[in-house]
Structure 1
Amino acid sequence: MSAGAGLPQGSPQGSPQESPRGAHQGSPQASTSEPQRTLNLGLIGAGNISGQYLQTLNRLEDLNLVAVADLDLDRAREVAATGGAEGVSVDELLAAPEVDAVINLTIPRAHAETSLAAIAAGKGVYVEKPFAATVAEGQQMLAAAEAAGVVMGSAPDTVLGTGVQTARAAVDAGQIGTPMSAVATMVTSGHESWHPNPDFYYQPGGGPLLDMGPYYVTSLVTLLGPVTSVIGASSALRTEREIGSGPRAGEKLSVSTPSHITGALIHESGAISTLVMSFDGTASQAPPIEVHGTEGSMAVPDPNHFAGDVQITHDRGPWQSLETAGGYVQAARGYGLADLFWSGAFDGDPTLGRAQGALGLHVLEVMAGVLSAAETGASVTISSRADRPSAVPLDPR
């Protein structure tokens, strides 16, 4: 389907049009006697991550990509062609009445500007992580969406897969008793070894926490609930990095943001999570996330992935793998938006669905709080609140 002036007129925000294509694969709610509704989407930001989103959009028939925009129009057209859409300018996409919602895949410092423009155009928004470049911008985005009555969703959506959701099912079933603490660990040597332009990762707004932390913090909130306060410590002992690949290989980079961060998150439930995010090591054998309760401990798979083995132990016994017990089985990038649609967020109540902007803002404030606490040496109170997202039952989609 094409975009821009030549597109057929579609439905406004909150009233997705009906599709003649029938039920989408794996959707038991759909019926061949009732046309499957679709959500018409515009994607802004045709960078590398867009390819993963397009794989999902091409598979789920109730998510219908109609337009792709980018500052580089040729790149927008190239990406759009892989999704059966039209490459257009950002202004054309925002003006297209048939676009119900915008997938915002721009760079973090453009998240707020792009999201606010889409909201002003009456469109829902689903934004990549982190929610915004600053907490103040995130608050502005969320307030604008609430005032306009449109959906504001946020990545990461990896927590909707079978990995974290199987762990969530175990927690909810009391398999480890009352959760008391968790440890989340991410240690790598940094992205300069493989990324041809890694400058951003070592400048303010980058670093391991803001880059990878959303996956871990979102998972911790999903498992243990929202956070009320944080403390932190950080370092940047390596003041220079060397690009290891691409045309700039051998070029030196200055480091101007912490490359190792440790934080403690105090959850509303009373549980305490310890967070270690580092570009200053090589690797770690620690599970990505461990959750400890009064009756057992649990190892949670990499929250940057949708699936993985969940293990549990009791009474110092052997670790045993749990059967898959929750989550979208086929989950991939973009399922957060799909979950919002399937939950009814576009049917008049934008607060429905799990990948809510309020959660994205809360996670952003937690990370910013850890960085602030590391700089000042003082505990930081988290002012935002986000409901612990409801569990995802095991779903074949």
Structure 2
Amino acid sequence: MGKPLNVGIIGCGAIIAQYLANFRRLDQVRLVAVADLDPARAQAVADDYDGVRALSVEGLLSAADVDLVLNLTIPAAHADVALKAIAAGKSVYGEKPLAATTEEARRVLDAAREAGVVVGCAPDTVLGTGIQTARKAIDDGLIGAPISASATMATPGHERWHPNPDFYYQPGGGPLLDMGPYYVTALVTLLGPVTSVLGAASHTRDERTIGSGARQGEKVPVTIDSHVTGVLVHASGALSTLFMSFDAVKSKSPNIEIHGERGSLVVPDPNHFDGDVELFPLGATDWETLPVSAGYVDSGRGFGIADLAATPRGKEPRAGGALAYHALEVMESLLESAHKGTSVAIHSTVDRPDRVELTVLADRADALQPK
């Protein structure tokens, strides 16, 4: 606390652009190095920004000025990269999911605890004004005691736009593990931890056709469930219904709805950081849009790292490893339940993260600038 957190990024794929854009604005974060299995991709980033050097993965892990490794590799590599970073004495912040399996994720958290370093994990969308304004509405009792929620994500598949969609259809991918972290993390942030799940899943097609890029027309095998639905039982007693699909075409329903004894909320897309929160109180005649009242204003990917940097030592970050592990266990257990046909208990728990008060993080005077 009190000085910028020096960050090194491993993985220079498409998502890095969003992190770079926001790192320019954050006093709490300073990017110092990047690495990628393709050295040219790392060098391209370093060539564009002053003060950032391209290193090998091993070189970045051993760099004395790197405090935290931002892990932007594919899901199958998340645990391996995180464990190497932890072994090098670095804190870690990863893209979602925390790991491909809860077994791997547990090794990451155990190693971090033993090493005395911090683990954070996307999605940090829950720290934006959309989810946080909804959280404040619940905390303020505007809907009374929450009873239920529904969360819906429907798309015909990422192969329609992604030039290399293979990992979406391999273990660690699929609609639940790819997009579910946004929804499950939001539901836990809003309603608290989950104690059990009941799921069902289907596998519609054995292959997908790439729709763009150099590989357009190439077939990709599908080895995961491409449509998953289920019920989450929260410790509070609230019930959430989850619908995650790479098979459906489009949904007209809100992304998340929360229903309570005295009102209902429409919560904006948890894949975004902002959006309108709408309230329908008991006895009203129409929906009302609530004023923005909580969360990081004008936030984006990387704000979770700034929040981690500002978190007192010994306290779990809001976008922390414990929350990411719990969300991963919920999703893994939903798939287990779908295959077994029975309810599955969730063994982990997590404190409902503290609400983010309405906060504007000042733009940096010495921002990361293009050359």
Distance 1:83 1:294 in 2: 52
Cα deviation, residue 58, structure 1: 1.6
User: Which of 278, 282, 291 is matched with 2:249 structurally?
Assistant: 282
2:285 is the alignment partner of 1:317: yes
Distance 2:49 2:134 in 1: 34
Alignment-derived partner of residue 78 in structure 1:
44
Alignment-derived partner of residue 122 in structure 1:
89
Deviation string 1:145-196 (CA, Å, 9 cap, x unpaired) is: 1111111111100000000000000000000000010000001111111111
For 1:144, the aligned partner's letter is: A
* Matches for 1:1-397 after TM superposition, within 5 Å: 37-84=3-50, 85-314=52-281, 315=283, 317-344=285-312, 348-349=313-314, 351-397=315-361
Cα deviation, residue 352, structure 1: 3.7
Distance 1:394 1:82 in 2: 33
For 2:21, the aligned partner's letter is: Q
Distance 2:208 2:28 in 1: 45
Cα deviation, residue 342, structure 1: 1.4
- 8 Å contact from structure 1 (residues 313, 319) kept in 2: yes
For 2:285, the aligned partner's letter is: G
- 8 Å contact from structure 2 (residues 72, 94) kept in 1: yes
- 8 Å contact from structure 1 (residues 58, 83) kept in 2: no
Q: TM-score, normalised by structure 2?
A: 0.94
Identical-pair percentage: 58
Aligned to 2:310, what secondary structure does the other structure show?
A: helix
For 1:388, the aligned partner's letter is: R
For 2:34, the aligned partner's letter is: V
Aligned to 1:304, what secondary structure does the other structure show?
A: coil
Distance 1:95 1:256 in 2: 37
For 2:271, the aligned partner's letter is: N
Distance 2:83 2:256 in 1: 34
Q: Which moved more, 1:284-293 or 1:307-316?
A: 307-316
Cα gap change, 1:332 to 1:82, in 2 (>3 Å): farther
Cα deviation, residue 205, structure 1: 2.0
Deviation string 1:339-368 (CA, Å, 9 cap, x unpaired) is: 011123xxx42x342111010110001000
Cα deviation, residue 370, structure 1: 0.4
Cα deviation, residue 248, structure 1: 2.2
Aligned to 1:343, what secondary structure does the other structure show?
A: coil
Aligned to 1:37, what secondary structure does the other structure show?
A: coil
Distance 1:117 1:132 in 2: 14
Distance 2:318 2:182 in 1: 15
Cα deviation, residue 282, structure 1: 1.1
Q: TM-score, normalised by structure 1?
A: 0.88
The one of the two structures with greater contact order (alpha-carbon pairs below 8 A, sep at least 6) is 2
| Superposition CA RMSD, Å | 1.2
Distance 1:83 1:168 in 2: 37
Cα deviation, residue 203, structure 1: 2.3
Cα deviation, residue 316, structure 1: 5.4
Alignment-derived partner of residue 364 in structure 2:
none
Cα gap change, 1:83 to 1:333, in 2 (>3 Å): farther
Distance 2:269 2:132 in 1: 12
Matched pairs, number = 359
- 8 Å contact from structure 1 (residues 65, 83) kept in 2: no
Q: Which moved more, 1:243-252 or 1:57-66?
A: 243-252
Structure 1: tracts of 5 or more residues without a match: 1-15, 17-35
Aligned to 1:256, what secondary structure does the other structure show?
A: coil
Cα deviation, residue 251, structure 1: 2.5
Distance 1:316 1:322 in 2: 14
- 8 Å contact from structure 1 (residues 226, 385) kept in 2: yes
